[in-house]
Amino acid sequence: MSLVEPVPGEPAALADLAGERALVIADFHAGVEQALRAEGVSLDSHASERRERLLALVARTDAERVVFLGDLMHAIGDPGGAERGEIEVLLERLDERGVAAALVKGNHDGAIESWADLNVTDGAGVRLGDVGFVHGHTWPAPEVLDSEVVCVGHEHPAVRLEDEVGGSRAERVWLRGSLAADAFADRGTEPRPGAEIVVFPAFNDLVGKTWVNVAGQEFLAPFLPAGLADGQAYLLDGTRLGAYEDV
């Protein structure tokens, strides 16, 4: 069994960090509704629903730690009061339950370490136990690549599925495969032989997506898709779709 296993039906995974159970999610994007309203999209805040969904997952999985795989914030600069309040209340609720919180900074997380009460590492990532964590907007640190499994956010991967009568729907997906050494050859480092990469779906379903099976779409991470060998796509319910580019 892999050190990182998705929670069935959810955009979240459980990671074994040297015996500690960690719930891992990517791209929470607190306060995204405020940004969407500024673009003319009228949406009520879903802050409480996001918080309760995450807390329910913590209880369901008996997680001892939550690892945010980047973009806990949405505002790239200083967050507004509502966004900051959403994050502060979430962290308070986790603390009340004795659950530690850690963040690998993403491109949206600004100076969150100056005010949020959680452990923050920079965008190059961190290795905890034998699992590496990186948001994906920058190159992973060598210690991250020297992991059995490397977890990546940032991409918000999704597929467009068509039915027999021409209808279509969008589905968030997981991408999993081998971590390809060739993608890092120019960086003076390389992954551990046999390492796996897991690209996480976005926890927040209101954010944009990388359509991995749509021609002309490009990945966002500088090491993708080259770093993902034999990449397979999986729906949140665990259904294996096969090679992501052929879905």
CA dihedral angle for residue 77, residue 121, residue 230, residue 211, rounded to 10 degrees: -20
Number of neighbouring beta carbons within 10 Å of residue 11: 22
Kindly report the backbone phi and psi dihedral angles of residue 226, in degrees, each rounded to the nearest multiple of 5, phi listed first: -60, -30
Which pLDDT band, with edges at 50, 70 and 90, does 76 fall under? low
Query: pTM to 2 decimals?
Result: 0.93
User: What tokens were used for 180?
Assistant: 């390809």
CA dihedral angle for residue 4, residue 128, residue 60, residue 108, rounded to 10 degrees: -90
The domains of the chain, with CATH numbers, are 4-246 (3.60.21)
The 10s digit of each residue's pLDDT in 108-125 is 888 999 889 999 999 899
Kindly report the backbone phi and psi dihedral angles of residue 186, in degrees, each rounded to the nearest multiple of 5, phi listed first: -80, -5
Phi-psi region of 45 (alpha: psi -120 to 50; beta: other; left: phi over 0): beta
103, pLDDT greater than 80: yes
The 10s digit of each residue's pLDDT in 137-182 is 999 999 999 999 999 999 999 998 877 666 678 899 999 999 999 9
Alpha carbons 205 and 199: distance in angstroms, whole number: 16
Kindly report the backbone phi and psi dihedral angles of residue 19, in degrees, each rounded to the nearest multiple of 5, phi listed first: 95, -10
The 10s digit of each residue's pLDDT in 24-53 is 999 999 977 776 666 666 666 778 899 999
For the chain, the maximum distance between any two Cα atoms, rounded to a whole number of angstroms, is 53
